[in-house]
Amino acid sequence: MKKLLIISLVLLFSAFLNAQNTLVFDRVEYKILNGTASSTCNVSVDIIIAAGEVGKVTAINGSPSTIWDILLDDVQMGGDGMSKFPIWLDSGTHEFKLCESASSGWVNFSISVLVFKVIPQ
């Protein structure tokens, strides 16, 4: 009897523990960053994720492929072949910056972000 009561309670409360939402694909944001990058991180682009949405950065590609740093909202995300993918973004404005750590030079990069609508269950 005690086992049956415990199993019943576990099943009852498991229905309330579902905190997952459904993500529905909405669009692709494709941004290009180009210009003369320097250690002051002067090449930047904003990615805007609306309320009720999330973004997933799937790729950052470009040239030159060495001696650069990527900052996301002023936090260093990597450089020299960055491998911290995917990067999930919550709603709001997110600034990506490119910095040339050795010397200034021309950079041409692209950022791909998949945007999903969050559907509460």
Q: What is the pTM of this model?
A: 0.72
Output the CA torsion sign for 63, 68, 70, 74. Answer: negative
Q: Which CATH architecture has domain 21-119?
A: Sandwich (2.60)
pLDDT of residue 99: 76
Domain ranges (residues) in the chain: 21-119
Q: 103: helix, coil or strand?
A: coil
pLDDT digit string, tens, across residues 16-71: 655 678 999 999 999 888 777 676 777 888 999 999 999 999 888 777 655 567 77
